[in-house]
Each structure stands twice: as C-alpha cells, then as structure tokens.
Amino acid sequence: MPKAIVFLAQGAEEMEFSITYDVLVRGGVDVTSVYVPGADEPLSPADGLVVASRGVKLGVDTTLEALTKSGHAGDYDAYIIPGGAGGANTLSKDPTVLQILRDSHANGKIVGMICAGSLAALEARVGLGGPITSHPSVKDKLASCTYAHGLDGSSNLLL
C-alpha cells in the first residue's frame, strides 16, 4: 500500500489539508498527518489539535520530532504541503521539513504543494525547473520561477 505524509501546522487551510487527506485515504493510500510546530510553539499541539486558518480544529497522527526520531521520514511515497498562510509559512521555514522535501524529490518521490504551500518548493529548491502556481498572495515571492495559472486564471497545485 502506498504511503503519504500530509504536513500540518497551525494556520493551515482546512480544506487543503482535509480534502487531500481524505482523497488519498479513499484512493487506498496509508496517510499520516505530521504536525510541524512554529518557532515559538511546543513540539506537540495542545490536546493533539491544530487550529487551522478558519478556526477548525484538526487532529494529528504524529509530530515531526517523532517522525524524525523514528528514522522513517524517507519511507513514504508522497509528501504534501497544504496552503494557508500561517501553516505554509511555518512549513516553508522549517529546516527539517525542507530537507525531507529535498531528499524525497531527489529520490523521485511525489512532492506536492497546494496554494501558498508552494513557498516550501521555493525554500527547499525543488520542482522549480517547470511551471509553478500558488495563492496570489505569494506569487511575488515566486518571481524567479515560471509562474503558471489555471485555465480559469486561478492558481492550483502544479509541480
């Protein structure tokens, strides 16, 4: 059974996390949500719950600290970064997450970012050789990339 990680940080976009997690599970993928704390946050979220961008509370399966200590961070087939400004900023600044993305990309694994999550692609320097999209609020930060829009002018996942 294929395995995927969907990273999760405070301020992540609810739908980009939950729909991705749900669709992967429905597709037969063993999915693990991995909590990544911000600079001044505890290593585990209070009560095991992350407060997403609209106030919805989301549970986590494990923490980044536990994942890295287990030695199994590279054992997954796909690594997904959801958007949401708060979560995307945390994920795109975490050196451990960025190294996991670089290693996974170098090993031919699926590395995907959604919306503002594209900031992690920029910081990890992965997937930048082709077109990239993002939430319009971070488009200027991706100026060095080949920026692409959806057919309707929207920004969608594309790596």
Residues recognised as catalytic: 115, 135
Cα distances (Å, whole numbers) of residue 77 to 20, 45, 144: 15, 25, 28
Q: Residue 146's closest CA among 157, 130, 126, 159?
A: 130
For residue 39, give the amino acid letter: A
Q: State how far the Cα of 155 lies from the Cα of 143, in Å rounded to an integer.
A: 14
Furthest CA-CA distance within the chain = 43
Euclidean distance between CA atoms 118 and 83, whole angstroms: 8
Name the H helices within the chain: 14-26, 64-70, 85-93, 95-106, 118-124
